[in-house]
Amino acid sequence: MTPTDAPQRRRVVIAGGGTAGWLAAAALAQQLGSLLDITLVESEEIGTIGVGESTIPTARSFHRLIGLDERRFMAETGATFKLGIAFENWARIGDRYIHAFGETGQSTWMGAFHHFWLQAREQGFGGDFGDYCLELRAADAGRFAIGGKAPELSYAYHLDAGRYARYLREIAEQAGARRVEGMIERVEQQGEGGDIVALVLRSGQRIEGDLFLDCTGFRALLIGQAMGSPFEDWGHWLPTDSAVVVQTHANEPARPYTRAIAHGAGWRWRIPLQHRVGNGLVYDSRHLSHDEARDRLLHEIEGDIVSEPRLIRFRAGRRIDAWRGNCVALGLAGGFVEPLESTAIHLVMIAVTRLLQLFPFGPDCSAAAARFNALAAAEVEGIRDFIILHYVLTERDDTAFWREVRAMEIPASLRERIALFREGAIAYQDGADLFRVDSWAQVMLGQRLQPQRHHQMAAIMGEPRLRQVLADMRAQIARQVAVLPTHEAFLRDYCPAEGGEALLRRQVG
Ligand code: FAD
């Protein structure tokens, strides 16, 4: 390429500075900064949604992509480690299971590990399914370590959403992104529904661009209001539509997992950070009023309150075209499935990664947009099915909410998965699936879906050998967990946060 062929700089305008906006700004500035002029507009008057504090392991690859130093990021955002989610009271009141990251047992090409475990259970041995997952056992024991002699753990983070957006902003600005404070009042387009030309702020300032990223949250100012991309509503499958959120002081050592505790009309989360705990009660407003939800949350949470309870309303579903014309929606503007499996930040990260791969360096990008939209649709539909699974497989009938969700019509794709598992314990991961076979098996078994039969490869092994192999696996995991330090001790050494040290010292004592 001669100097005269040098690509023209593209102007990228990001509307909104929540987690989605700043993640996009940081990644674009880090990776393509020399080719782009990046401007992010956000309004302090509106603020951000202020939740989104539990992640999944893919966050680590994305952080590597944007060159983020783990220890510093964790210290700055008060982050803790996450090994999975504990589901309490889901299939029956009193039940508890953990959906952990990492692998459960060892699978073969013919079938997954749970077939071996089911064979053992049939013969009266084998213990808990969770005994074969290192991450699960470490989570339950409150232990964690990485590096040195520690076994390799698959992990994610709990983080403070406000601190996280500020931290990403620092990275993005250092890499050359420019921030403009202001309220977007108008979106200027080439004709109705045509490409966006500029954002016009209340101050009168006009921000022109070639590519516009809609990160305005549920408002979806660009993709919804201006470009008119329709919203596909999934409320009939995912009926929770509200959350009350509140932050508390910690009253126990930070557990390395999120808690998702079902109640009569939804569920409640507890996310431990170094300096506080995030709590939220997710509910179906047809079955619980806002006042009842707030009272229930305040009654059930533990620890002193550090913020006023806040109500958030949401709607499950997705934009049919997240990328339309020269506008790409990221984060809540592009759609939302409720936070039960902490997948929203992942969806932002994967969308930003795809945008980097498919980046429109010229005016015509309809094929790239079509590919982006097809991949996004397939992935979010898989996540949607996985979340519906937790509701539809319940045995609870103690409230109208649970009676409704256990009897609801579900997507055909999920019906087929449940039938396969019920018939022969078969679980699978398709190309677009985020969740692996291990996750499907953990949740299906945790929700008490009993397979009628399983693959007979384990029977071929014979009982003595199967017994020995399983006992060895359990013993190895128990040994690995026993040598790990406690989660708080590791946090204190590895990444103590501002405001978190005193708390950790107190807890570790
Ligand atoms: P927002 O944070 O709402 O940001 C929108 C931005 O747009 C703000 O900066 C705002 O000021 C700006 N803006 C809007 N309109 C204008 C305007 N007119 N002019 C100028 N600026 C404007 N995700 C997870 O991965 N894990 C979780 O545990 C999790 N929990 C959640 C719990 C709940 C109850 C909800 C609702 C969501 C949860 N999420 C979770 C999702 C997660 O919060 C979001 O995906 C993430 O925070 C990204 O949000 P956002 O940046 O798209 O939107």
Give residue 273's identity as a one-letter amino acid code.
L
Tell me the best of 216, 225, 348 to mutate to test the pocket of ligand 1, counting ligand atoms within 8 Å of each CB and taking the most.
216
Tell me the best of 39, 42, 258 to mutate to test the pocket of ligand 1, counting ligand atoms within 8 Å of each CB and taking the most.
42
Distance CA 116, CA 467 (A): 10
Question: Is the CB of 185 within 6 Å of ligand 1?
Answer: no
Cβ atoms < 10 Å from Cβ of 93: 14
Q: Which residues are catalytic?
A: 82
- Pair 211, 197: CB distance under 8 Å: no
Phi, psi of 233 (to 5 degrees): -90, 130
Question: Is the CB of 294 within 6 Å of ligand 1?
Answer: no
HSE of 341, CA atoms in CB hemisphere, 13 A: 25
- What pLDDT is attached to residue 145? 98
- What pLDDT is attached to residue 6? 65
Taking CA atoms only, the protein residue closest to ligand 1 atom 9 is 17
**Model confidence pLDDT, tens digit, residues 216-234:** 999 999 999 999 999 999 9
Of 338, 263, 259, nearest in space to 293 by CA = 263
- Pair 208, 198: CB distance under 8 Å: yes
Question: Is the CB of 21 within 6 Å of ligand 1?
Answer: yes
Distance CA 81, CA 488 (A): 10
Question: Is the CB of 214 within 6 Å of ligand 1?
Answer: no
3-state secondary structure of 38: strand
- Pair 387, 340: CB distance under 8 Å: yes
* Distance from residue 316's CA to the centre of ligand 1 (Å): 14
* Closest atom of ligand 1 to CA, residue 215: 52
Helix (H) or strand (E) holding 269: strand 266-272
* Closest atom of ligand 1 to CA, residue 346: 25
- What pLDDT is attached to residue 192? 83
* Closest atom of ligand 1 to CA, residue 280: 34
Which CATH fold topology does 8-53+160-235+316-381 show? FAD/NAD(P)-binding domain (3.50.50)
Number of H helices, E strands in the chain: 16, 21
Between β-strands 327-329 and 211-214, what pairing exists: parallel, antiparallel or unpaired? parallel
Tell me the best of 13, 14, 19 to mutate to test the pocket of ligand 1, counting ligand atoms within 8 Å of each CB and taking the most.
19
Q: Where are the alpha helices (DSSP H) in 282-410?
A: 290-300, 344-357, 366-392, 400-407
Considering the chain, tell me which residue range(s) the CATH 3.50.50.60 domain(s) occupy: 8-53+160-235+316-381
Distance CA 254, CA 488 (A): 6
Torsion of CA 446, 448, 453, 455, to 10 degrees: -10
CA–centroid distance for 17 within its chain: 19
Structure-token pair, residue 109: 């090409």
Of 449, 439, 387, nearest in space to 413 by CA = 387
**Model confidence pLDDT, tens digit, residues 128-178:** 999 999 999 999 999 999 999 999 999 999 999 999 999 999 999 999 999
* Distance from residue 51's CA to the centre of ligand 1 (Å): 7
* Distance from residue 47's CA to the centre of ligand 1 (Å): 9
Of 87, 133, 130, nearest in space to 390 by CA = 87
Structure-token pair, residue 479: 């040994």
Question: Is the CB of 51 within 6 Å of ligand 1?
Answer: yes
- What pLDDT is attached to residue 507? 46
Q: Is 42 exposed, middle or buried (0-12, 13-18, 19+ CB in 10 A)?
A: buried
Which parts of the chain register pLDDT below 70?
Answer: 1-7, 500-509
Tell me the best of 46, 184, 387 to mutate to test the pocket of ligand 1, counting ligand atoms within 8 Å of each CB and taking the most.
46
* Distance from residue 322's CA to the centre of ligand 1 (Å): 16
- Pair 92, 82: CB distance under 8 Å: no
- What pLDDT is attached to residue 4? 52
Give residue 343's identity as a one-letter amino acid code.
T
Question: Is the CB of 220 within 6 Å of ligand 1?
Answer: no
Distance CA 294, CA 309 (A): 7
Distance CA 382, CA 436 (A): 11
Distance CA 467, CA 426 (A): 22
Question: Is the CB of 258 within 6 Å of ligand 1?
Answer: no
Question: Is the CB of 46 within 6 Å of ligand 1?
Answer: yes
Taking CA atoms only, the protein residue closest to ligand 1 atom 27 is 52
pTM beyond cutoff 0.75: yes
Of 427, 474, 420, nearest in space to 106 by CA = 474
- Tally the residues of the chain: 509
Non-local CB neighbours of 206 within 8 Å, separated by 6+ positions: 188, 198, 199, 200
- What pLDDT is attached to residue 505? 46
Of 136, 2, 90, nearest in space to 398 by CA = 90
Give the whole-number percent of the chain exceeding pLDDT 70.
Answer: 97
Residue 41 bridge partners (DSSP): 15, 180
Question: Is the CB of 331 within 6 Å of ligand 1?
Answer: yes
* Distance from residue 292's CA to the centre of ligand 1 (Å): 25
User: E strands within 285-418?
Assistant: 310-313, 317-319, 323-324, 327-329, 335-336
* Closest atom of ligand 1 to CA, residue 22: 51
Residue 319 bridge partners (DSSP): 231
Question: Is the CB of 322 within 6 Å of ligand 1?
Answer: no
